């Protein structure tokens, strides 16, 4: 199960339900995908085929919406 948190532009932000405990978010678009750590700070964990510009855009979205992502994480993984 990988619930979608939200979509913005061409990006889908989501979690994998059975993965590591460290807070993070996955991002997918037609060009590739990435994983960003949220703790202890926002940081790129993995990148598959996304450009530097795409990663910068994604990181900006995560920064702007990090409270929403963190709340979704807590709701999903504490249930």
Confidence class for position 31, pLDDT limits 50, 70, 90: very high
Q: How many domains does the chain have?
A: 1
CA pseudo-torsion sign 64, 32, 2, 9 = positive
Which range marks the domain in which residue 51 is found? 4-77
Would you call the peptide bond into 9 cis, given omega within 30 degrees of 0 as the criterion? no
Question: What does the pLDDT average to over 45-63?
Answer: 98
Average pLDDT score over residue span 36-43: 96
> Which pTM was predicted?
0.94
């Amino acid at each position: 199960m990988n619930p979608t948190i939200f979509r913005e532009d061409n990006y889908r932000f989501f979690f994998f339900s059975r993965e590591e405990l460290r807070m993070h978010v996955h991002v997918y678009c037609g060009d590739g995908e990435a994983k960003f750590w949220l703790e202890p700070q926002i940081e790129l964990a993995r990148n598959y085929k996304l450009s530097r510009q795409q990663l910068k855009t994604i990181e900006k979205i995560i920064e702007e919406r990090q409270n929403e992502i963190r709340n979704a994480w807590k709701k999903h993984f504490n249930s």
